[in-house]
Amino acid sequence: MSGKELTRVEVLARVKAGALRLKSAAVLLHVSYRQAKRLARRYRATGAKGLTHGNTGRRSNHARPAAERTRVLALIRAKYSGPVDVRFGPTLAAEHLASEDDVTVHHDTLRRWMLAEGLWSRARKRAAHRARRERKAHFGELVQLDGSFHEWYEDRAPRGCLMNLVDDATGRTLARLGDEETIWAAADVLRRWIEAYGVPLALYTDWKNVYVRVPNAEEQATGAVPLTQFGRMCASLGIQIIAASSPQAKGRVERNHGTHQDRLVKKLRRLGIAGAAAANGFLEDTYLPEHNRRFAVAPGSAEDFHRRVPSRMLLDRVFQLEEHRVLSNDWVVRYDTRYLQVARQSGQVPARSTVQVREARDGAIELRYRGRLMQWTEIAAPLKPTPPAVRPRLSSAPHRPARPSVDHPWRRDTRAIDRERALARAALLSRACGSCRSRGRPERAHRCLETTERFPRAPTGRVGFSSEGDISISLRTGTFLFRFDTNHRIP
């Protein structure tokens, strides 16, 4: 019973007990006297049950047929249900039921059915409180740019990056799918925005090196503004880049990412799309027009802050990579491992001059000197010296030095070798000194015994001589004593 019906039971019970008059009960129940009489009669006949509404517990006359509810829930289970990150919400499921299955159900009705069957939950993520920044008043006054890495194709293809542009004033969106958040990816999506709406006043990005960078030491000393390749392109068009310090600061594009990660992934799955080319075609032809029609809002001011669209030639020149190189003495420019030979032409560029190298999106290269286009041809890279061939090892086993043979001098007794050398020297000394003594020159003989210069083939060492004719030779292995007859000449 409702609260109103319980109040009626209490008041009419007092009337039945005689504690309250029926006229006073009509005032308390905010009904007429005749209605109070009817309620009292029903209460006396059937009790509290008679005061409940007659339609309580009955099926509504506007209820959907049970067969239709069963069919809709079967479609939800088969096509739009699954885990939390896969299933469709009631609003998106109602849209696809109407477009694909020709079944029109209000999303609130579908939400009640899905809640009753356990196909949806009211779980909400709690986040820290933040004050939302008010939208800009003019279309084109501020456009937020960011890349979203996500499994856009699920398991059908590798992870991709959605380059997303969202106007701050209207929420109008332009997006392109690619592989990475690169300079060319950002330049492509910005050029499409310019061709569609004009040149915006400012871009709101994060601090990735694609968009902005911190100044180096030279720029800090000179006060020059640090520019990336994308920043230089925007500066050429007069677009200011504002870097956000947190994801919450550019929350409009971040919330837009969340919408695409839910709706776009499921739509790509329904179509079986698994590549950037097909996905971009679907985005441009179907998804983005429907998304902008549903979610875009009117700006606070009717004035459009976009500037006119530049010519195609100007856009082609703006959206190019720009580098500076020094022309070598043989008029060759080296760029990205390529060698560009500058041809002889009128107004020849001096060697060691700085030239400008410009690379377009399709890889075409221009060389310019003081704004003047130069002719060039690509030449082959110089050959590098070939390193000497490494001799392959015949065996993988570790190298072992060869052992000396059995009759190798290393294996002979060193003392015996020295004895032989001492005998040979003693014989030479004996012959020399004998001839000196026979001539009556003992001092000369003494000098012969002490020197080794006259006997270069004899072993070195200390030589001793005695008056008895003994010769002692001291070598590293010991001292050898020999006795000779100096009066007898050795032939």
pTM equals 0.58
| β-pair type (470-475, 462-465) | antiparallel
pLDDT value at 486 more than 50? no
pLDDT of residue 331 exceeding 70: yes
User: Distance (Å, rounded) from C-alpha 64 to C-alpha 110?
Assistant: 11
Q: Which DSSP category does 41 fall into?
A: H
Cα–Cα distances in Å, from 271 out to 204, 268, 313? 33, 5, 37
d(CA 8, CA 20): 13
pLDDT at 318: 94
Whole-angstrom Cα distance, residue 48 to residue 382?
105
Provide the pLDDT for residue 2.
81
Check: CB of residue 120 under 8 Å from CB of residue 83. Answer: no
Q: Which residue has the higher pLDDT, 32 or 448?
A: 32
Mean pLDDT across the chain: 83
Which is higher by pLDDT, 211 or 60?
211
CB atoms closer than 10 angstroms to residue 371: 6
pLDDT surpasses 60 at 122: yes
pLDDT surpasses 60 at 434:
no
Taking only Cα atoms into account, the Rg of the chain, rounded to an integer number of angstroms, comes to: 52
Asked whether the predicted pLDDT for residue 349 surpasses 50, the reply is: yes
Residue 238 pLDDT class (50, 70, 90 cuts): very high
Distance CA 114, CA 428 (A): 124
Over 60: is that where the pLDDT of 175 sits? yes
Lowest mean pLDDT among 39-53, 170-184, 386-400: 386-400
In which band, very low, low, confident or very high, does the pLDDT at 125 lie, cut at 50, 70 and 90? low
Give the C-alpha distances (Å, rounded to integers) separating 399 from 14, 362, 394, 402, 469.
117, 57, 11, 9, 56
pLDDT for the residue numbered 471: 53
Query: And the tokens for 371?
Result: 């704004």
How does DSSP classify residue 397?
S
Q: Confidence class of residue 472 from pLDDT cuts 50, 70 and 90?
A: low
Single-letter amino acid, residue 420: E
Predicted pLDDT of residue 62: 81
Most confident of 56-65, 264-273, 351-360: 264-273
Does 420 have pLDDT greater than 80?
no
As a whole number of angstroms, the distance between CA 87 and CA 114 comes to 12
For 263-322, write each residue's pLDDT tens digit: 999 999 999 999 999 999 999 999 999 999 999 999 999 999 999 999 999 999 999 999
Predicted confidence at residue 189, as pLDDT, reads 96
Q: Check pLDDT > 50 for residue 395.
A: yes
d(CA 368, CA 357): 7
Share of the chain above pLDDT 70, in %: 82
Total count of residues recorded for the chain:
491
**Contact call for residues 224 and 138 (beta carbons, < 8 A):** no
Residue 261 has pLDDT above 90, yes or no: yes
Cα angle for residues 83, 88, 93 (degrees, 5° grid)? 150
Per DSSP, the residues of 277-346 read: HHHHHHIIIIIHHHHHHHH----SSS-B-PBPPPPHHHHHHHSSEEEEEE--TTSEEEETTEEEEEPP-S
Which of these, 296, 46, 273, 77, lies nearest to 166 by C-alpha position? 296
How would you classify the pairing of strands 240-243 and 321-326? unpaired
